[in-house]
Amino acid sequence: MRTHFALITLLSFITLNAQDEASNNESFVRNMDQALNTLNTNNVSGTSFYFSNPKREIKGSIHLFKDWENRGVLVTEKGEKFKVKNVNVNLKNQTFESKFHRDSIFTFSFSDLDRFVINNKAYKNFYYDEDNRIYELIYESEKFAILKGYRLELVEGSANPMLNRKDDKYLTKDNYYLFADDAIKPFKLRKKRILRLISDNQSKQDKVQKYVKDKKLSYKNEFDVNKILSYGMND
């Protein structure tokens, strides 16, 4: 009954682009936290007592977005598209999630999933060096992609009043990466590195630099970098 109820709930908030795509929804749901799991609290016996220190509150969030009021489009490897409400990225587990009914959360499987477009930005899972991670796509071509990776950093609290940090806190950090030749390496948004991605030809680099100057673009701005690479790679 729980599984049936959870699937009906999922279908109620996912809208398909075409009616004949309805049967594909279930393949993207890997687990249904709280919808499938139950906690048995009736097996307590005996009169023993134990004490433990209370856990310190952790401020911040393990999710990329501050709230769940985000609309997303799930894109399959076949190009099929599904609209999803209340979507977020779990940075701790590196998963795509969608919230329904207050605290119930669906976690989407990476199977057959190409990317999620959330708030007009594309996010994609890459498996590299025995690790699955979700990256934001800054630029993508057949030759390479510029990625933005996010990670959680837990800053531990301290009893020292001088630090003014009594609680633990999650901080979100980000870095840029280059995906090329089936490898993901750290990448800096710098003029020389971006121009080399476009071409080793000095004449073409000069043309791109003129475009950057005329349009008043910056090699350090990710939105401008997308414009620069799109212009250079398509020229």
The percentage of the chain sitting over the pLDDT mark of 90, rounded to a whole number, equals: 65
**What mean pLDDT comes out for the span 119-136?**
95
The long-range contacts involving 191-197, CB below 8 angstroms and separated by at least 24 positions, are 191/219, 194/219, 194/225, 194/228, 194/229, 195/232, 197/144, 197/229
**What mean pLDDT comes out for the span 183-204?**
97
What does the mean pLDDT of the chain come to? 81
For residue 184, pLDDT over 80 is answered with: yes
**CA gap 25, 187 in Å, rounded:** 36
Distance of CA 38 to the CA centre of its chain: 28
What digits encode the pLDDT tens for the residues 64-79? 999 999 999 999 999 9
What digits encode the pLDDT tens for the residues 141-169? 999 999 999 999 988 877 676 666 677 89
What digits encode the pLDDT tens for the residues 36-52? 343 334 443 443 444 44
Q: Do 106 and 97 form a contact (C-beta atoms < 8 A)?
A: yes
What's the pLDDT score for residue 162?
A: 62
For residue 118, pLDDT over 90 is answered with: yes
For residue 231, pLDDT over 50 is answered with: yes
Dihedral (Cα; 28, 34, 36, 38), 10-degree rounding: 160
CA-to-CA separations, 92 to 110, 113, 125, in angstroms, rounded:
16, 20, 14
**CA gap 110, 90 in Å, rounded:** 14
**What mean pLDDT comes out for the span 87-106?**
93
For residue 98, pLDDT over 70 is answered with: yes
Burial class (CB in 10 A: 0-12, 13-18, 19+), 13: middle
For residue 9, pLDDT over 70 is answered with: no
User: What amino acid occupies position 128?
Assistant: Y
What's the pLDDT score for residue 55?
A: 61
**CA gap 100, 210 in Å, rounded:** 50
What confidence category does residue 57 fall into, taking pLDDT thresholds of 50, 70 and 90? confident
Joined tokens for residue 171: 């901080």
What's the pLDDT score for residue 92?
A: 95
The percentage of the chain sitting over the pLDDT mark of 70, rounded to a whole number, equals: 74
What's the pLDDT score for residue 108?
A: 95
The per-residue DSSP string of the chain comes to: -HHHHHHHHHHHHEEESSGGGGGGGGGGEEEEETTS---------SS-----PPPPPEES-SBSSSSS---EEEEETTS-EEEESSEEEETTTTEEEEEETTTEEEEE--TTEEEEEETTEEEEEEEETTEEEEEEEEEE-SSEEEEEEEEEEEE---S-TTTT--SEEEEEEEEEEEEETTEEEE----HHHHHHHH-S-HHHHHHHHHHHHHHT--TT-HHHHHHHHHHHHH-
